[in-house]
Copies of this chain bind each other. A is one copy, B any other.
Amino acid sequence: MATLKKIPLVLMGCGGVGRQLLQHIVSCRSLHANLGVHLRVVGVSDSKSLVVASDVFTKEFNDNLLSEICRLKADHSSLSTLISGECQVFLDSDLRGKLSEIASLLGTSTGLAFVDCSASSETVEILTQAVDLGCCIVLANKKPLTSTKEDYDKLVSRPRRIRYESTVGAGLPVIASLNRILSSGDPVHRIVGSLSGTLGYVMSEVEDGKPLSQVVKAAKSLGYTEPDPRDDLSGMDVARKALILARLLGMRINIDSIKIESLYPEEMGPNIMSVEDFLSTGLPLLDNDIGERVRKASLNGNVLRYVCVIEGSRCTVGIQELPKNSPLGRLRGSDNVLEIYSRCYSEQPLVIQGAGAGNDTTAAGVLADILDIQDLFP
């Protein structure tokens, strides 16, 4: 048996997705050994602390320690409470410095994958630094890629060293497929997508004649929405995904260049109304309007979908009236759908559809990304 190729990695963020990723790494040991690869976890951080293997060149967190970290984080404990002779703990101000030290030690020697499963906008600095130091970066976190154009350019300056499949559609092969199409010289001229499972569910329920307010409350109680459903209804999450796709197609835009339709008016915003007031008092005021739009669309044989549309130099996010019998029109429930139009897929689009949320699926997408960069490691 040949020796395994070792891929050292540092995980930032070990909440839902990050924790699931560690579990996947442990449970995939023999599978990955068959593929000739060993993922060597040398550091894990949460928002306040970083634990690092005692010697990042030769040591790693063994599977017991990784499982212990998963248990800790499932209990919402801080990483800093981890007690083990195999690792050192760094806190707050020392955290950033230690991360860049590891990047500089391993980047051009053994190679290093920085994996960002946080939801922080603060990681962009260490990620750009890591790229400069020869590391690879893998992101489930949308924030760094939807920062300024300057940050984006730095992150993608070495296109082979970055993967970010799970920022759009969780594990759905969206970015990988677009990269294939683009690298084959097939120009993508239009993307239409339903990229929010929550809003997909909401729109297909109101299509059946249910009032928006009831549908949102039901979605919240099913756990489909964020704790404050306005985080979904604002369209901001979809806009971030749209921006990532638009930039991949070469558009030089920022998040504020995107026309975003929020499903609630400003006067019902989080600074003005509590979640409870929004659900009980605000939201019902919107029922009639959306109900009317659904009926009007239906008279044209159409349905309403909350979609992103990227075409030419235009990127918009909001409700669109679409043919009932298009892939997007047929969409029911919380699946994501993406339609890609290019020279090769001109009349009928390339369609990618499936579950686009969930920690398991998102972490699986991150893991596939890590395996995908293995050839960059010595």
Chain A residues within 8 Å of B, Cβ to Cβ? 24, 27-28, 31-32, 35-36, 159-160, 165, 171-173, 176-177, 180-181, 183-186, 327, 330, 333, 335, 343-345, 348-355, 358, 360-361, 364-365, 367-368, 371-376
Contact = CB atoms under 8 A, between A and B. Distances in A.
B333 A330 contact: no
23 contacts: A24-B184, A28-B184, A28-B185, A31-B185, A35-B183, A36-B159, A160-B374, A171-B184, A173-B180, A173-B350, A180-B368, A183-B368, A184-B364, A184-B367, A327-B353, A330-B330, A343-B360, A345-B354, A348-B354, A351-B354, A352-B352, A375-B375, A375-B376
B185 A364 contact: yes
A343 B31 CA distance: 16
A365 to B, nearest CB: 7
B335 A348 contact: yes
Nearest to A26: B185
A351 to B, nearest CB: 4
A361 B344 contact: yes
Contacts of A176: 173, 176-177, 180
Contacts of A184: 24, 28, 171, 364-365, 367-368, 371
B375 A35 contact: no
A27 B159 CA distance: 21
User: How many copies make up the complex?
Assistant: 2
Given A35-B159, A184-B364, 17 more contacts: A27-B185, A28-B184, A36-B159, A171-B184, A171-B344, A173-B177, A173-B350, A176-B180, A183-B367, A183-B368, A184-B365, A186-B364, A333-B348, A344-B364, A348-B354, A350-B355, A351-B354
Contacts of A31: 183, 185
B344 A181 contact: no
Nearest to A367: B184
A134 to B, nearest CB: 14
A378 to B, nearest CB: 12
A344 B353 contact: no
A137 to B, nearest CB: 15
Contacts of A376: 375
A374 B171 CA distance: 24
Contacts of A371: 180, 183-184
A20 B28 CA distance: 40
Residue of A335, A350, A376 with highest tally of chain B CB at under 10 A: A350
A371 B353 CA distance: 25
A164 B298 CA distance: 44
Contacts of A374: 160
Contacts of A335: 348
B185 A367 contact: yes
Q: Which 8 A-B pairs have the closest CB atoms?
A: A375-B375, A350-B354, A180-B368, A28-B185, A184-B364, A183-B371, A184-B367, A173-B177
A52 B180 CA distance: 29
A358 B346 CA distance: 13
Nearest to A346: B355
Residue of A24, A32, A345 with highest tally of chain B CB at under 10 A: A345
Nearest to A354: B350
